[in-house]
């Protein structure tokens, strides 16, 4: 079986989400659709069509989402058992009476439009053959609940099964949290972050800095090293507290379960973007527009060369498209993020704030850590690197405009530390993590591997003191003091007698 076809063997559940609006009868709303990555423009039309079809199978469309169980996402799941079955005379549907397994005191939920997976009986995953109209799919469950009566527990499926489920068959309704997250995201987040999570919603063009683009799987203010993905707690903290100094507000008044639903939906969007991006990257080498044009232009028989490329592409999607390898590369960092041990915590308790600690921290700021090259000697975010033409991370050459750039190609200003506003949080632990782990997606490096905890804490203490420095203490006079102190230290090391006296 080809890798392409084996995609259908992965358990997934379609979760339909609908939103009504009276105004839509007069003014139809714009169609909600997921936008392909910019990399789609770099590959051939057939390669783009292939990737879009794969991503659509795995994730669905905005109004017809797929809760793909391969992903490390909590979609929300309610288990149940069939108590009785009533076959509809016209053969259009089957009415089931079910019993749900709910925690004590929990209200019976509305299940309409959510996906259902059978966990015992004829339709158990692996043996299922669900007829969806005239199209038969194996293992890709696309059956939804058409209606559910909370009072008497009667449930009607959206599609007629080949034969009705039997009494005692068990099932799981997947997508309760997922669907709630979609609706909450559409209400509170979409206007900035966009339907696809590309940071290009209707209001994004008016905002600076731009809203986060989730599609790289990169979130700036996290508790882990740059190579790992944001933990659930990281994203929860950002949603609850917002990002000070930006247009990202706090949703502290939102219920915890609503916050968790939004976080899971954001994680799902990020995984979708990362997988799509990686599919395009794997195709770019052989099937980019530039590569194909070069091959065709340099060939004596252009038609024959195009036919050869066509055959190579068919062979690739049939035999060489390694979906599992891509899943592992993209999803493993997300799976690791579920482990609480991935979060960075200091091994040494915070050093007491003191004049001596701040002085040591300033030396690190000006020297070993090189903070001043970006943040400036006074911490105003105007270091020399903000005026230099920096090299691009990919593609070669330098940026067309001076300054520092993030992974999305936007110019970023180093934090002006004199304001006392810290976007990743202002707790000592938050500042520690920014120094230790860096800021993902930006030139801000992490120093956990090169600095000891006591040095990081000294730097934290100095950063906290910067907003309270007098102008003279953070300008040329401060430089002269640093220079004199450095000379004193050098002189002491050269003279044992003086060192002993000190």
Asked if residues 424 and 220 have their Cβ atoms less than 8 Å apart, the reply is yes
Question: Greater confidence, 474 or 287?
Answer: 287
Domain-located, residue 370:
yes
373-393 per-position pLDDT tens digit: 999 999 999 999 999 999 987
For the CA atoms of 40, 46, 47, 49, the dihedral, rounded to the nearest 10 degrees, stands at 60
Residue 397 banded pLDDT, cuts 50, 70, 90: confident
Which residue range is the domain that position 145 belongs to?
A: 77-174
Is residue 99 over pLDDT 70?
yes
Give residue for tokens 């899943």.
327
With residue 172 as reference, give the H or E element that holds it: strand 170-174
CB contact at 8 A, 50 and 310: no
Helices assigned H by DSSP within 134-255:
176-188, 190-193, 232-241
Picking from 164, 145, 193, the residue whose alpha carbon sits closest to that of residue 14 is 145
Predicted pLDDT at 132: 34
Which of 126-149 are b and which e, b meaning 16 or more Cβ less than 10 Å from the residue's Cβ?
A: eebebeeeeeeeebbbbbbbeebe
Q: Is residue 34 part of a domain?
A: no
Rounded to the nearest integer, the mean pLDDT of the chain is 81
Last residue of a domain, one of 111, 140, 174: 174
The pLDDT confidence band at residue 90, using thresholds 50, 70 and 90, is low
Of 151, 174, 197, the last residue of a domain is: 174
For the chain, what is the domain count?
2
Whether residue 207 has pLDDT greater than 80: yes
pLDDT in tens, 337-378: 887 778 889 999 999 999 999 999 999 999 989 999 999 999
| Secondary structure (DSSP) of 204-246 | GGG-SSPPP-GGG---SS-SS-TTSPPPHHHHHHHHHH--TTS
CA distance 290 to 297: 10
* pLDDT tens track for 407-461: 888 888 999 999 999 998 889 999 999 999 898 888 998 998 899 999 999 999 9
For residue 103 the two structure tokens come to 């925690």
Quick: pLDDT tens for 112-154: 777 788 888 887 753 333 333 333 333 334 567 888 888 888 8
Q: What integer is the mean pLDDT of 74-88?
A: 86
Assess whether pLDDT exceeds 50 at residue 3: no
- Calculate helix-pair angle for 256-287, 302-315, nearest 10 degrees: 140
Tokens representing 84 are: 């009785």
Tokens of 392: 């691009």
Q: What is the pLDDT of residue 462?
A: 96
Name the pLDDT band for 89 (thresholds 50, 70, 90).
low
Residue 409 has what pLDDT?
Answer: 87
Q: Is 56 left (phi over 0), alpha (psi -120 to 50) or beta?
A: alpha
pLDDT attached to residue 143? 61
**Is the per-residue pLDDT at 35 higher than 80?**
yes
Query: Which pLDDT tens digit goes with each residue over 222-254?
Result: 888 767 899 999 999 999 999 998 999 999 999
The CATH number that applies at residue 137 is: 2.40.10
Whole-Å CA distances, 351 to 344, 354, 357, 417, 429:
17, 9, 8, 20, 12
Instruction: Count CB-CB contacts under 10 A for residue 169.
Output: 20
* Three-class DSSP category at 318: helix
Q: What is the largest CA-CA distance in the chain?
A: 105
Q: Is residue 476 predicted with pLDDT exceeding 50?
A: no
Q: Is residue 278 part of a domain?
A: no
Q: Which pLDDT band holds residue 108 (cuts at 50, 70, 90)?
A: low
| CA–CA separation, 114 and 147 (whole Å) | 10
* Beta pairing partners, 78: 173
Asked if residue 67 is part of any domain, the answer here is no
Q: Measure the CA–CA gap between 290 and 185, rounded to whole angstroms.
A: 38
pLDDT for residue 314 is more than 90? yes
Confidence bin at 105 (pLDDT 50/70/90): low
Tokens (6 digits) for 436: 């230790």
Does any domain span residue 190? no
Determine, yes or no, domain membership for 312. Answer: no
Q: Which of these, 137, 113, 135, 122, lies nearest to 10 by C-alpha position?
A: 137
Task: Report the distance separating Cα 388 and Cα 402, nearest Å.
Answer: 5
163, part of any domain: yes
Query: The pTM is what?
Result: 0.80
In the β-sheet with 145-149, what is the strand arrangement from edge to edge?
Answer: 115-118, 170-174, 77-87, 94-100, 154-157, 145-149
**500 pLDDT more than 90:** no
- Select, from the ranges 56-60, 158-162, 426-430, 468-472, the one with the highest average predicted confidence (pLDDT): 426-430
Q: From 174, 189, 210, give the residue that closes a domain.
A: 174
β-bridge mates for residue 81, sequence order: 99, 170
Q: Which residues on adjacent β-strands are paired with residue 95? A: 86, 156
How large a percentage of the chain has pLDDT more than 90?
47
Q: Which of 31, 32, 52 is nearest to 40 (CA)?
A: 52
* Distance (Å, whole) CA 115 – CA 94: 16
Q: Which residues are CB-contacts of 18 (< 8 A; sequence separation ≥ 6)?
A: 63, 113
> Please, which pLDDT band fits residue 165 given cuts at 50, 70 and 90?
confident
Domain of residue 408, CATH code: 1.10.760.10
Which DSSP string corresponds to 128-160?
--EEETTEEESSEE--BEEEEETTTTEEEESS-
Tokens of 69: 């169980």
Does residue 54 form part of some domain?
no
Looking at residue 487, its pLDDT comes to 44
């Amino acid at each position: 079986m080809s890798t392409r076809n084996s995609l259908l063997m992965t358990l997934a559940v379609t979760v339909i989400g609908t939103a009504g609006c009276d105004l839509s009868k007069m003014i139809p709303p714009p169609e909600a659709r997921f936008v392909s990555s910019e990399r789609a423009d770099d590959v051939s039309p057939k390669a783009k069509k292939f990737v879009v079809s794969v991503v659509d199978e795995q994730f669905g469309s905005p109004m017809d989402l797929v809760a793909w169980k391969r992903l490390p996402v909590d979609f929300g799941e309610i288990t149940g058992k069939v108590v009785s079955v009533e076959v509809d005379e016209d053969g259009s549907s089957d009415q089931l009476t079910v019993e749900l397994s709910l925690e004590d005191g929990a209200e019976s939920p509305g299940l309409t439009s959510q996906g259902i997976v059978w966990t015992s009986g004829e339709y158990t995953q692996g043996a299922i053959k669900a007829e969806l109209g005239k199209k038969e799919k194996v293992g890709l469950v696309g059956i939804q609940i058409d209606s559910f009566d909370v009072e008497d527990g009667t449930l009607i499926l959206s599609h007629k099964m080949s034969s009705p489920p039997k009494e005692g068959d068990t099932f799981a309704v997947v997508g309760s949290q997922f669907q709630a997250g979609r609706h909450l995201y559409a209400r509170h987040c979409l206007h900035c972050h966009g339907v696809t999570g590309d940071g290009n919603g209707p209001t994004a063009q008016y905002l600076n800095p731009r809203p986060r683009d989730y599609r790289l799987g990169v979130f700036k203010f996290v508790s882990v090293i740059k190579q790992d993905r944001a933990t659930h707690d990281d994203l929860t903290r950002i949603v609850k507290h917002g990002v000070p100094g930006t247009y990202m507000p706090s949703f502290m008044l939102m219920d915890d379960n609503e916050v968790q639903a939004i976080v899971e939906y954001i994680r799902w969007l990020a995984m979708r973007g990362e997988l799509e991006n990686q599919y395009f990257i794997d195709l770019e080498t052989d099937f980019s527009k530039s590569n194909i044009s070069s091959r065709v232009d340099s060939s004596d028989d252009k038609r024959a060369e195009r036919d050869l490329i066509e055959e190579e592409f068919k062979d690739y999607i049939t035999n060489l498209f390694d979906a599992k390898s891509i899943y592992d590369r993209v999803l493993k960092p997300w799976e690791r993020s579920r482990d609480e041990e991935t979060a960075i915590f200091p091994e040494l308790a915070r050093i007491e704030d003191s004049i001596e600690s701040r002085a040591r921290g300033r030396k690190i700021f000006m020297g070993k850590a090189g903070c001043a090259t970006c943040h400036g000697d006074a911490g105003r975010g105007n270091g020399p690197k903000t005026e230099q033409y920096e090299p691009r991370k990919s593609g070669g050459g330098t940026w067309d405009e001076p300054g520092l750039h993030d992974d999305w190609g936007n110019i970023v200003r180093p934090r002006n530390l004199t304001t006392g506003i810290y976007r990743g949080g202002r707790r000592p632990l938050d500042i520690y993590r920014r120094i230790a782990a860096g800021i993902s997606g930006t030139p801000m490096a992490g120093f956990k591997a090169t600095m000891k905890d006591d040095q990081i804490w000294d730097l934290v203490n100095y950063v906290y003191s910067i907003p309270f420095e007098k102008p003279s203490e953070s300008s040329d006079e401060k430089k002269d003091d640093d220079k004199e102190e450095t000379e004193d230290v050098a002189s002491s090391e050269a003279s044992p007698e003086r060192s002993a006296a000190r």
